[in-house]
Amino acid sequence: MSPSTHTWKFFRLGGFDQVRLDSGADLVHLGQLDQKLWAALSCPTRGVEFDHATLDLIDTDKDGRVRPPEVLAAVQWACSLVKDPGVFTQREGPLDLAAINDASAEGKAILASAKQILANLGKPGATSISVAETSDTQKIFAQTKFNGDGIVPVDAADDAATQKVIADVIACMGALTDRSGKPGVSSATVDGFFAACSAYADWWKKAETDKAVLPIGDATPAAAAALAAAQAKVDDYFARCRLAAYDARALGALNRSETEYLAIAAQDMTIEAAEIAGFPVARVEAGRSLPLAEGVNPAWAGAIAELRAKAVKPLLGDKSALSEADWSELKAKLAAHRAWASGKGGAVVEKLGLARVKEVLAGNAQAAIGALLAKDKALEPEANSIAAVDKLVRYRRDLHRLLTNYVNFRDFYDGGDAAIFQAGTLYLDTRSCDLVVRVADAGKHAALAGLSKTFLAYCDCTRKSTGQTMTVAAAFTNGDSDNLMVGRNGILYDRNGDDWDVTITKLIEQPISIRQAFFSPYKKAIRAFEEMIAKRAAAADAASTSKLTGAAEGVAAGKAPEPKKLDIGTVAAIGVAVGGISAALGTFAGVIFGLGAWMPAGIIAILLLISGPSMVIAWLKLRQRNLGPILDANGWAVNTQAKINVPFGRSLTKLAVLPPGSQRDLVDPYAESNKGRNAFIVALVTIAVLVGLWYFGVLHKASALDWLPKSGYLQRKEKAAEPVAAAAPAAADAAPDAPAK
């Protein structure tokens, strides 16, 4: 890549430098920007909140992905067709016709097509054109007979004869939809239709020149059909008769055994029952003719009657029985017809009838329709220009928005328009989450998205009014996770404002905030304590119930309950435990109160000692929160570390806050009374403070309280000070007298 001659401007959001795309010059020189500075290198054409038709135009290789070469090709093409590429940075409003660069041949054709579109829509004086006007091709071509798509409808012809043939083509070959929305025909279907007509006429010509093909005229096809329907069964009958003539011992087996008849007779029968149809068409005997009236298998009586009426009687005369020689003669007389029928040509036009087919071939409809198709084909460049107008107008509306979600992530970070990967806003647990992405497979998505270090909730979304369903992953980046659990329900408002019912189905748990990490150890300790109490209470209840049951059984049996013995060892153990706990609490209180003015700092240090590890872990993980894995799991190729730091996370997940100026009544008539608990806590704190003051001798300084016994700590302190006080007078006595002057 050659060095860029354009002066680029960058802004920093999400922890990385992002290029500004604010001017037409930025778009024109986009190909010179090093792709290592692009925010993404690929995005899917589905699963994003973006016009799929526009993405399909950019995705020239139709692989469902938009990559940098395709983006650059779209930008280059669009910029070359306008006078000022800056129009693409203005997302709102239609495209002014005056902005189209008609200095080039393509630009001139697009401008002419744009004016033609407006004229077709009844707006010949309009000076701008929008996507709504270019996307409805049926309205654009509604008043035109020819539109360059290679398809002509029935009304494209002026004469009734040609219109009727076009209708015949549609009836036989199927309809193609013209750009105007009408059914029509193409060169391929017209050629196929006339080829079928010729084949069908030639096929019938053989029958007209060979009398053996239609021995009884138009009744021959019905005779052949009756013969074909019964042939297999009649052939089977005469084969069995020949076998019976060969060996009479086979006769019983050839006619089916009596046990088989008994099995069928035990069931509910119908004339068409498969079991009966499998029996011979008539009773088998050596050299016997096939009866055509009496003695015929009931399941085949109808087919034999058809054979007699439509084939035997016209070709062999009215017979009540058919010998094997008659049968061979009948097949021979219809053999030519059957061979001819098997080689039928142009069957697709048979529904028109031979007379109509000959009429079509006799006229000049094929040449007339060919002329109409040629006239339509001549307008193909103009029609293609109309498609180019739609493409240009779509790029005018959508191209810059794509770039600010692909080359940079401005739409995601600047708090303005939502990014194209954001599916809507989820409301759940007194929070609203804006980072919500569509997910095709929650399991596959979670395998990679977990690397984002973000708390993710996978939710099934449904709209019962329409039956629609989808799965989303919502990022919780503020608050705590205490009440987030599988099965909780919420509501999602998608980008169109439609509401969806939401249920959490899977969680990827990660730290959400430092505040949550601070309280986490205490919450875990409280939960563990509650579980322990619950277990002990359950065990005590079970033991008490067992004792009561045992006592009741003893009374019922006439036994007096044994007196309860005092366990001296247990009492001693309890005393030791209480003493140990008291000593530990005393030592802890001594350390805390011994800090004096530094006591608050000591309390803070203890809190940090408990909560510090979880806070540090949470801080490290929050620094690693990254948008990339969440999008990569959906088929994106994010090219940078798009961070979600704590301040930005608070903007993505908003907590419930009362509106400014709200009036709040703090009196809850159903609130639990805490007076007793509060009084107990105040008394406990007061006693602890007094004990601490007594322990460290502060209370003894007051003369009115000198009667209080001294604590061990104060006694040790006074005892340690006594030698120092006694040594001072002794030193004074031992000093020598000063010499007299």
Domain boundary among 345, 365, 388: 345
Same domain, 232 and 287: yes
What pLDDT sits at residue 182? 86
Same domain, 190 and 241: no
Owning domain of residue 339: 217-345
Same domain, 225 and 328: yes
pLDDT along the chain (741 residues), means of 10: 80 93 95 95 95 95 96 96 94 91 92 87 90 79 74 90 94 89 91 94 88 88 92 90 85 73 58 69 89 87 90 90 91 90 89 92 92 87 82 95 96 90 96 96 94 95 94 95 94 95 96 81 75 82 80 69 55 52 55 60 70 78 91 95 91 92 83 73 78 69 68 73 57 52 42
In a domain, 60, yes or no: yes
In a domain, 428, yes or no: yes
Same domain, 391 and 340: no
Other CB atoms within a 10 A radius of the CB of residue 412 amount to 27
Same domain, 502 and 632: yes
Same domain, 55 and 106: yes
Q: Please state the domain count of the chain.
A: 4
Q: Which residues pair with 183 in a beta bridge?
A: 177
User: How far is the C-alpha of 318 from the C-alpha of 270, rounded, in Å?
Assistant: 30
Distance, CA of 518 to chain centre:
37
Domain boundary among 393, 412, 431: 412
Same domain, 303 and 390: no
User: How far is the C-alpha of 612 from the C-alpha of 35, rounded, in Å?
Assistant: 42
Domain boundary among 345, 369, 395: 345
In a domain, 516, yes or no: no
In a domain, 668, yes or no: no
Over the stretch 110-139, which tens digit does the pLDDT of each residue have? 998 899 888 888 888 899 999 988 887 667
What pLDDT sits at residue 741? 42
In a domain, 304, yes or no: yes
Same domain, 66 and 80: yes
The strand order across the sheet containing 436-439 reads 436-439, 468-476, 455-463, 499-508, 489-494, 424-428, 431-433, 653-655
Q: Which residues pair with 18 in a beta bridge?
A: 11
Residue 601's φ and ψ, nearest 5 degrees, are: -65, -35
What pLDDT sits at residue 558? 66
- The pair of structure tokens assigned to 59 is 């995705």
- The pair of structure tokens assigned to 624 is 């690693």
Same domain, 186 and 223: no
In a domain, 386, yes or no: yes
Same domain, 278 and 314: yes
Query: Which stretch of DSSP H or E encloses residue 12?
Result: strand 10-13
In a domain, 98, yes or no: yes
Same domain, 128 and 106: yes
In a domain, 19, yes or no: yes
Over the stretch 550-572, which tens digit does the pLDDT of each residue have? 777 777 766 655 655 545 555 55
User: How far is the C-alpha of 85 from the C-alpha of 89, rounded, in Å?
Assistant: 8
What pLDDT sits at residue 274? 63
Same domain, 14 and 136: yes
Cβ pair 196, 349 in contact under 8 A: yes
- Greatest distance between any 2 Cα atoms in the chain: 185
